[in-house]
Amino acid sequence: MTKFYTNFQVDEIGRVVSVGDGIARVYGLNEIQEGEMVEFASGVKGIALNLENENVGIVVFGSDTAIKGDLVKRTGSIVDVPAGKAMLGRVVDALGVPIDGKGALSDHERRRVEVKAPGIIEPIDTILNQKQMNSRGTNESETLYCVYVAIGQKRSTVAQLVQILSEANALEYSILVAATASDPAPLQFLAPYSGCAMGEYFRDNGMHALIIYDDLSKQAVAYRQMSLLLRRPPGREAFPGDVLYLHSRLLERAAKRSDQTGAGSSTALPVIETQAGDVSAYIPTNVISITDGQICLETKLFYRGIRPAINVGLSVSRVGSAAQLKAMKQVCGSSKLELAQYREVAAFAQFGSDLDAATQALLNRGARLTEVPKQPQYEPLPIEKQIVVIYAAVNGFCDRMPLDRISQYEKAILSTINPELQKSFLEKGGLTNERKMEPDASLKESTLSVKKVAPYSQM
């Protein structure tokens, strides 16, 4: 009997007293922590969000139809998800469970979904050499690992995205976290934090990660639903008072580490849906106040064939030209002002009144500047080629080119300008007077070649 050993495991348990709409009220669990994972007798998991005197409010990560009266067990751990290179090329749900039918995850570590953001450090100039990422031959230290978090989207949309990434061989450096519209609100609330934890693995190991949240508006709606069911007091637009903290604690985790700690980085790209283009609504203004800038897309521009449908007036960068290549800063410095003037004058030009030569020239230049940035979907353009095309537009090389020939003209100038010269635009020196001479000659040659195919438009 003295050699007989028994290992006792003591679990703190409670009982579900009421359940409805994904919220379970549990009696007991007096020592539970806020944010701790619990497990129901049926195997369904949940997270404790409300710690009250008489009961604990738990949001359920799954079906709540048959858990009333069930026992609930503490797990003793805060919500965590798998992370590591084993996640690359996989599609997982908000809890990190694979949903792509490729089997279980191989070797990986686990990370908490909620962690304190890194401390503030001195500003660092970023994206000084922004080039086409993950091209063939890219070193592992330069690879940009991507985490795409789909929140409240259709399953068919996520499946289409997986197919597109697979065809482009992009799944090998991508992770997809899906909390679709058919998933419970708690999973849609949790998904961005899970994706962030997966991206932080690369940042903390000296690599670079881009985390796309598509979109945080649906996460806010899911959080509002949970908060109202938990009987938290509503505020503006019925959102709870801490909805700003919901997004700020997520986005402030995007950071650049110092050289002494590996020089890894994570970049957050949040997407927000506006109602009828109203950027002054509660959630859009919250996220705008957190980020370093925004790109505003407009439905009217999309239907007019301007794609990507970027509203230049509302799209701003608070980093400014500090994060631009010097050559790009030189060529596009005046284009935003010219586009703003063009759209102001274009409204008066619709009345058909007589216009002087200067106004006519402004309208002509503005129409070309609007046409040049158009590009097909899934066809990114390297930044050195962007510099060439914008340089041609702002310097008047295509002022008399027919609008329907602009895309042909772009291809012509990119094929005639020396690739080595294009790459030299990436250097810190920018466009010097000596460097401008060669592209000017090539642009004139391209203009003449396209002129033979299509005559110039009349001013």
82-114 pLDDT, tens digit per residue, is 999 999 999 999 999 999 999 998 888 999 998
147, 198 contact by CB (below 8 A)? yes
Taking 50 as the pLDDT cut, the residues of the chain under it are 121-131, 456, 458-459
Q: 102: which DSSP letter? A: S
Q: 98: which DSSP letter? A: B
Report whether CATH 1.10.15.40 matches the domain 81-291. Answer: no
* pLDDT recorded at residue 127: 29
* pLDDT recorded at residue 130: 37
Q: What is the C-alpha separation between 121 and 360, in angstroms, rounded?
A: 50
Residue 161 is encoded by which pair of tokens? 């995205």
| CA dist list (Å): 231 to 226, 228, 241 | 9, 5, 13
Q: What is the β-pairing status of strands 23-28 and 13-20?
A: antiparallel
* Alpha-helical runs (H) found in 295-432: 299-303, 326-332, 335-349, 357-371, 383-394, 406-416, 419-424
* pLDDT recorded at residue 397: 86
- Sequence letter at residue 77: S
The gap between the terminal CA atoms of the chain, to the nearest Å, is 104
- Sequence letter at residue 368: R
443, 413 contact by CB (below 8 A)? yes
Q: 210: which DSSP letter? A: E
* pLDDT recorded at residue 84: 92
* pLDDT recorded at residue 122: 32
13-77 folds as: Elongation Factor Tu (Ef-tu); domain 3 (2.40.30)
Which of these CATH numbers, 1.10.940.10, 3.30.450.70, 1.20.150.20, 3.30.465.10, describes 327-453? Answer: 1.20.150.20
Q: 235: which DSSP letter? A: -
Which tens digit of pLDDT belongs to each residue from 224-268? 999 999 999 999 999 999 999 999 999 999 999 988 988 999 999
* pLDDT recorded at residue 125: 30
Domain ranges in the chain are 13-77, 81-291, 327-453
Catalytic residue among 318, 365, 405, 435: 318
Can you tell me which residue has the tokens 């003037």? Answer: 341
Helix, strand, coil share of the chain (percent; to 5)? 40, 20, 40
Q: What is the C-alpha separation between 151 and 357, in angstroms, rounded?
A: 51
| 113 backbone dihedrals φ, ψ, rounded to 5° | -80, -25
* pLDDT recorded at residue 11: 77
Q: 454: which DSSP letter? A: S
Q: What is the C-alpha separation between 23 and 59, in angstroms, rounded?
A: 5
Q: Is 318 a catalytic residue?
A: yes
